[in-house]
Copies of this chain bind each other. A is one copy, B any other.
Amino acid sequence: MSVTAPQGFEAAGVVAGLKSTGKPDLAVVVNRGPRKVGTAVFTSNRAKANPIIWSQQVVADRTVEAVVLNSGGANCFTGEFGFQTTHLTAEKAAELLEVSAGDVVVCSTGLIGTGDQTFRDKVIAGTTHAIAELSAEGGELAAQAIMTTDTVAKTEVITRDGWTIGGMAKGAGMLAPGLATMLVVITTDADLDPAEADAALRAATGRTFDRLDSDGCMSTNDQVTLLANAASGIRPDLEAFTEALIELSDRLAEKLQGDAEGASHNITIRVTNAACEQDAVEVGRSVARNNLFKAAIFGNDPNWGRVLAAIGTTSAEFDPYDVDVWMNGVRVCTAGGPDRPREDVDLTPRATDLLIDLRTGDAEATIRTNDLTHDYVHENSAYAS
């Protein structure tokens, strides 16, 4: 049920003609209230797409009525004309929904530099079409319409004591932190104040989407939006809500990882006994971005030397000669030297666990990444749509 699982939300996904494949490519999610709380986190890339620049203004007052999302074009580096396209999209949705354009978030994904008059016409027409199709069962279609190179639509739902959270996500390439390249819309019928919604969203993205680093490449269009309408009439304990939101976000992040372009391994990097959580994240990310390590995993080679070479480039507090490395449960390196033979490690399963014990403090963090494969290179050398 995706984003329409919570009460009081409607959605639709339609074919706007932006994708050459003729598949759905435009989605709308509408909050029917009673409350219209909305917040979002955005890519930290300074090269921001027009919909990011627009949406940052929209969420400033923590009120969001609707989200319009398109695949088939990023509307990034398309100049003033591209920004006007985003603005006109919000105005069209606002007119039809009888709300303020300043409360309509817009998200785009696809090739950078795409956003001409044809793109504009199709987005505006598609928005009109999608709003006519809005329904409380539209969540699945909306999730399909935001797919780019994704092979499956990604949705999750969590229900707790009378309230529900639903989410949809897309993202397969250019997956890196701050945020991972993705569009995500999460809805809830819990009753949250704007500051609570914002705090919960930042806590959840910081622990989940921000720790997904498929290929170290940060997108221009990332956005995770949370809409909360209080339709359940229930005010959850904020801690319980945040925990549920983290769980839902983590599941979506796992689905993004599992569908990353060309990947053959889902690598979970757990860094333990770090001096602080930030150190653990830095260490995990250095491995997640090391092409030699990632190529070795593709080749089912438990090359722990490349792990140590990667973490040696960080400024985290630890002694490179007092580190343990485990791969799929086998300790291949202890105290900076060889331990169990590499033949003992079976790297053929898609799920790959790397554990790095820094033997310094008691903090830890987990980073998700993928291997570097022939298919990754192929998809990203040929990708132009």
Contacts and interface: CB of A to CB of B under 8 A. Distances in A.
Interface string A132-149: 000000000000000000
A206 interface: no
Interface of A: 44-48, 74, 76-79, 111-113, 173-174, 215-220, 289-292, 295-296, 298-299, 301, 303-306, 308-314, 320-321, 333, 335-338, 372-374, 376-378, 380-382, 384
A381 B305 contact: no
Tell me whether chain A's interface is mostly helix, strand or loop, or mixed: loop
Contact of A309 (B217, B305, B321, B378): B217
A337 B115 CA distance: 11
Return the 6 tightest CB-CB contacts between A and B, nearest first: A112-B305, A47-B312, A299-B381, A295-B380, A46-B312, A45-B312
Given A113-B304, A113-B305, A217-B290, A295 B381 contact: yes
A112 B148 CA distance: 40
A47 to B, nearest CB: 3
A60 to B, nearest CB: 21
Contacts of A376: 291, 295, 377
Contacts of A372: 291, 377, 380
Contacts of A289: 216
A46 B308 CA distance: 9
